Structure 1
Amino acid sequence: MNKIVIDSGFSQSRVALLEDEEMVEYYIESKSLKRLVGNVYKGRVKNVLPGMQAAFVDIGLERNAFLYVKDAIPRELLIDKKVDIKDIGIRDVVKNGQEIIVQVTKEPMDKKGARVTTHLSFPGRYLVLMSQVDYVGISRRIEDEDERKRLKEIVEEIKPEGMGIIIRTEAENKDRKDFEEDLKYLLRLWHKIEKEKNLGFPPKIFYKDLDLIHRTIRDLFTDDINELVVNDKDDYNMILDFLDLISPELKGRVKYFDPGINIFSYYGIEKKIREALSSKVWLKSGGYIVIDKTEALTIIDVNTGKYVGVNDLSKTIIKVNKEAAKEIAKQIRLRDIGGIIIIDFIDMIDKKAEQNVIKLLSRELSKDRVRTNIVGMTGLGLVEMTRKKVSNRISSILEKKCPYCGGLGMVLTPDTVINNLENELKRVSLHTNSEAVIVEVNLEVEKVLVNQRKDYLGELEKALNLRIFINGNSNIHSNHYKIKEMGRLSKIKEMLKGEK
């Protein structure tokens, strides 16, 4: 059974995709810090770097965005067989000071700015509309040749001249009317950007991609999902309204969950998130894998651990490696690991068994919506693969470098601590008669709540009908908080007065 669980809070939205009770994908978005991928900006070229075949573009973010020459060359030249793009330099397509319309394709990561492209594309439920190219593509996951032919014929009939369309996996078995409605919405969006692109001065944002919950409904909530559960009434109604537009037949699968219970704890997701932050993952056999991240790549090491088999060492090794292959594919998807990945399976003497393990890994990775590529086995017997990197992995969103250990370990971000505190305060509001609480938090969390999140704190107090007094305490670990006192408002005020 496949299920989507949505935890909608005041500070964060969290989404977990469960397949047979196992969490395989996890997404998180701060209400105050939205994701940038998909957004369209009018920017200004600040610096052209011929040596790197790239340019820096000011789109109004903290760091300038990065535009590679391939992402700046008009799409029609990219597919023109007569033109060798190696002969085209970055100075041939952009100039210093030039105004340019770009779309974010990769979030800012570490100390790097966002990556952008001039090749705009807009995903709908069934189709992706592309500018600057006259082309019809189709998802590789639609394998039936007759169905591929049928879909292409329909889309080629309705495709606007001079534009490109990619047919998404969800389009399988849908009819022309579904595609026409989807295309109508995407064209309205495109014409709005075309109309406004000459207005105003850069940097300026023209289009923001959908928020996490809307993207979840558009991209994840398909016929394969048996149930979607959400713990916020407003979001529940919004989801039903959105489904009216894109997939009315799925409305019956949406369930409203009692907000008085931590929805992620109820479904065992909080535990799974903690496991996803651990570097060591145990296998059912007693073996384990270790996942380590360096600046350039991710290394995954497979070990037999407690599993010693019975008699045949080679069979023991093959069993652990096969189990590890399945778990590695799951962890890569769950943790959203991107870039270069090196896997050190336990050495196998049997080359046929070695190939079978790699085939198993490839088959498990095919379930991933993000593009992966197994390059092959290196001379040292290591499996080398790549996975498209679009956003930050889970660990970098939920954790930050620990100030207590010189950056060798990780602690929770203030956003994560605030979200945990919010769930605790909901329980206080629902299960006690308290009118007010005094909460002690780490000084950094206090700074975020009092200085940067005044509106959030006010909204939370109003929603819970609970006065919340925040006290910073340098002795409280940055991961923790403490409800020091709760009760009648008059009593809490007297207590605070006495402490001054």
Structure 2
Amino acid sequence: MSTEILVNIGPQETRVALVEGGSAQEVHMQRASRHGLTGNIYKGVVQRVLPGMQAAFVEIGLERTAFLHVNDMVVAAAAHSASPPLITQLLREGEKVLVQIVKDPIGSKGARLSSLLSIPSRYLVLLPHEAHVGVSARLEDEAERTRLKGILDELQQRLAPRFGVIARTAADGVGAEALEADLNFLLRLWSDVATQTKSAPPGTLVHGDLPLSMRILRDLLGTHVERVRIDSAEECVRLREFAQTFIPHAAPLVELYEGAAPIFDLYGVEDDISRALDRRVELKSGGHLIIDQTEAMTTIDVNTGAYIGHRNLEETVLKTNLEAAQAIARQLRLRNLGGIIIIDFIDMKSEDHRGQVLRALERSLAADHARTQIHPFSPLGLVEMTRKRTRESLGHILCEPCPACSGRGTIKTVETVAHEIAREVQRAARQFEAKGFLVLAAPHVVQKLVEEQPAGLTALEATLNRPIRLQSEAGYTQESFDVVPL
């Protein structure tokens, strides 16, 4: 399967698309006004300690204070005991702490922090507070794992005995010389961070992660990527220089895109982004998915739709569910949906069919860079899974709550608003000694009151013994209205 990385550079926005087999699988965005913060290291100050939650709120200079749990602290991790120490034994209000963002602020929630710092490079991850050597679980070849572990053990003992070192997936097949150079780079970087930390005031950034275009090269550019196309000549030069320094074998893959069409029009990436904001996802068979993202979880409903099959109901259901499993895996990556995910596949009585669908979902998620965990079908026929969430979903980045419905997804009917207006007029009549009332509302609401409910309006005026005047306001939403005593 061919794989490309497309990089679109705008005046205030950088977008990156990972394209596999001719379709976008992942989309990453970074805006000048809204940088992703995961991986940034801050010198913070403890604002409030919460013994009941075994956590603390830490001020790091963002709009909202960030959250640090005891399980994400160095001392707690080093204790190796069944229960971590009390947060009150580790932190006190006003104390300065060096922390790293492990989860971006999402919605009304502040950033999630850890004092278990990690600094990644191309092949390795440096752990300044943990003397541990490990290899990424994604490297499954035991011989390669053993080789890397042996190299890292020697390098750690010789160069960084107080630090931890982990081999990333990109270290597969990399020689000892390149790994040593990578470790030396990380040690120099950490030395610079430690120096800055001493003089930095609380609530300031002491180490920021790479810009998105470079970070994507570092994290996604594996041996399977055939080329990286970028539509900015200036940024293309910077990326080539970065690749030559840190990923020499990949430098020839970086090329300038000079096509007439916008780069995200290739492979229909722009259309994929637009469709990723819809609730409904069409399947080629005629079935469809309904995806609803809420604060607590994401739910996905699978429907046969117009697909009626060719043989029998069970085969129709199986085919739709198998296609849905592949589509769901792609949508999770494309939309970057994380946290708890509940999938309601079409009911299947056959355990063999259920097993086929679960295996199809697992295979489709194998290429996902985010960690996922899938559970078997529940007694209600639902599949529960989790996907690690470290940054905001595509929908949260590109959209905001609807001003008409405040994010509910529905609005009150015109009839409901008309009845609310009547009740509000009655409430105002009891509260004010007015000669009459002026009702300001959306044009179609006023039309409803005048044309379809004139008897009700006349009866209300008779009951109150005061006139009610209606006035259309084009700027009002369907649910908005005002009652003004005259």
Whether TM exceeds 0.5 here: the answer is: yes
Alignment of structure 1 residues 448-467 onto 2, 5 Å: none
Structure 2 Cα separation of the partners of residues 261 and 405 of structure 1: 37
Structure 1: which amino acid aligns with 2:209?
Answer: D
Structure 2: which amino acid aligns with 1:203?
Answer: G
Q: Over residues 352-394 of structure 1, what are the superposed CA-to-partner deviations in whole Å (9 max), with x where a residue is unaligned?
A: 2102211211121121111111133222111001111111100
Q: Give the deviation of 1:221 after TM superposition.
A: 1.7
Which residue of the partner structure matches residue 180 of structure 1?
Answer: 180
Q: Over residues 130-183 of structure 1, what are the superposed CA-to-partner deviations in whole Å (9 max), with x where a residue is unaligned?
A: 122111111122111111101110111111102111111110111011111111
Q: Give the deviation of 1:223 after TM superposition.
A: 1.4
TM-score by length of 1: 0.79
* Local SS of the residue matching 1:249: helix
Structure 2: which amino acid aligns with 1:153?
Answer: G
Greater Cα radius of gyration, structure 1 or 2:
2
Matched, 1:50 2:51: yes
* Local SS of the residue matching 1:74: helix
* Local SS of the residue matching 1:186: helix
8 Å CA contact 1:107–1:391 kept in 2: the answer is: yes
Structure 2 Cα separation of the partners of residues 244 and 294 of structure 1: 43
Which residue of the partner structure matches residue 457 of structure 2?
Answer: none
Q: Give the deviation of 1:31 after TM superposition.
A: 2.1
Alpha-carbon distance change, 241 to 372 in structure 1, aligned in 2, over 3 angstroms = same
Matched, 1:318 2:318: yes
8 Å CA contact 2:74–2:129 kept in 1: the answer is: no
**Aligned residue pair count:** 408
8 Å CA contact 2:354–2:377 kept in 1: the answer is: no
Structure 2 Cα separation of the partners of residues 371 and 176 of structure 1: 28
Alignment of structure 1 residues 30-429 onto 2, 5 Å: 30-74=31-75, 77-78=78-79, 80=80, 83-84=81-82, 86-159=83-156, 160-258=160-258, 261-408=261-408
8 Å CA contact 1:76–1:132 kept in 2: the answer is: no
Structure 2 Cα separation of the partners of residues 399 and 298 of structure 1: 17
Q: Give the deviation of 1:306 after TM superposition.
A: 1.0
Structure 1 runs of 4+ aligned residues shifted over 6 Å read none
| Higher deviation after alignment, 247-256 or 383-392 | 247-256
Structure 2: which amino acid aligns with 1:41?
Answer: Y
8 Å CA contact 1:73–1:93 kept in 2: the answer is: no
8 Å CA contact 2:76–2:85 kept in 1: the answer is: no
8 Å CA contact 1:128–1:165 kept in 2: the answer is: yes
8 Å CA contact 2:124–2:168 kept in 1: the answer is: yes
Which residue of the partner structure matches residue 11 of structure 1?
Answer: 12
Q: Over residues 106-134 of structure 1, what are the superposed CA-to-partner deviations in whole Å (9 max), with x where a residue is unaligned?
A: 10111111111101100110001112211
Q: Give the deviation of 1:87 after TM superposition.
A: 4.8
Which residue of the partner structure matches residue 482 of structure 2?
Answer: none
8 Å CA contact 2:68–2:112 kept in 1: the answer is: yes
Q: Over residues 257-293 of structure 1, what are the superposed CA-to-partner deviations in whole Å (9 max), with x where a residue is unaligned?
A: 1275321124421111111111111111111111011
Alpha-carbon distance change, 406 to 45 in structure 1, aligned in 2, over 3 angstroms = closer
TM-score by length of 2: 0.81
Structure 2 Cα separation of the partners of residues 385 and 279 of structure 1: 19
* Local SS of the residue matching 2:27: strand
Pairwise CA RMSD: 1.7
